[in-house]
Amino acid sequence: MSLYVTVEPTEDVLQANKNLTGYLIDTAGYRLESFELQQGQEYYNNSYYGSVQMKHDAFKILYVGYSKNGQTIQRVQPRVIRPQEFEVELSVLNNSLSVTPNKMTSIIVVLINHGSNNTFSILVSDYKSFVVSYSPEIVTVGKNDSVNIEINFFAPSNTSDSTTTSVSVSASIQSASTADLTNFLLFEVSVFSKEFLFVNETEVTTKLNISSLLTNPESEDSTPSNNES
């Protein structure tokens, strides 16, 4: 799992066009590994970007740069980072992200926890307010375990075919530093009536008047008539 790091030094005396060196340090201040922080371009030239593989249980970010006169500038970001990974995957029971007007429809979202045992707060909403309920709202999931989140949709009977709503599903945990850790997914659900979905193509075909497509060539007498005077 990669961590994308952004630092924005407050010093305006850093050497221009020169990258910074970043370090992961443990909670005791010992350096674990180094990585490069590249300076952003144009509007973002006050920011520095880099990425590291998160192989440690807890660490802080330290960065080192140089002033215009060559002096070393070293700063530590105070927040302790404790890697926590989990993934939200979408699974649909009926192989279709569609609902029928005036009928309750269920869609299943699978929450997979790739981190340690945690309790998750689930929140589901949609733009058209077709979501009427979901369960569970709070759930504890073990490491590498999963849980199904059942979402119930109901579209009013007067909802037009092809009406689409955007659905948001989020799963949040509380870290040791009381900062919210959240992952989410977005997907779209469309409304189609039963008549629209399950029209009988055979019946429709038999009702089609195809007689106009069948034409018989007119018989032509190939023998010219003889007119005698």
Q: Which domains does the chain have, with CATH numbers?
A: 2-81 (2.60.40.1220), 86-191 (2.60.40.10)
Least confident of 13-22, 75-84, 108-117, 172-181: 172-181
Strands, sheet with 72-81, edge to edge from the N-terminal-most edge strand:
2-7, 48-53, 31-39, 20-25, 59-66, 72-81
Tokens 């490069």 correspond to what residue?
36
Ramachandran category for residue 29: left, alpha or beta (phi over 0 → left; psi -120 to 50 → alpha)? left
User: pTM of the full predicted structure?
Assistant: 0.51
- Predicted pLDDT at 127: 86
Question: How much is the average pLDDT of 13-26?
Answer: 78
What is the pLDDT confidence band of residue 222, given thresholds at 50, 70 and 90?
very low
DSSP collapsed to 3 states, the chain: CEEEEEECCCCCCECCCCCEEEEEECCCCCEEEEEEEEECCHHHCCCEEEEEECCCCCEEEEEEEEECCCCEEEEEEEEEECCCCEEEEEECCCCCCEECCCCCEEEEEEEEECCCCEEEEEEEEECCCCEEEEECCEEEECCCEEEEEEEEECCCCCCCCCCEEEEEEEEEEECCCCCEEEEEEEEEEEECCHHHHCCCHHHHHHHCCCHHHCCCCCCCCCCCCCCCC
Q: How far apart are CA 19 and CA 9, in angstroms?
A: 12
pLDDT single digits (tens) 146-160: 899 999 999 999 999
Amino acid at 4: Y
Distance, C-alpha 46 to centroid of its chain: 29
User: Which range has highest mean pLDDT (18-22, 125-129, 196-200, 222-226)?
Assistant: 125-129
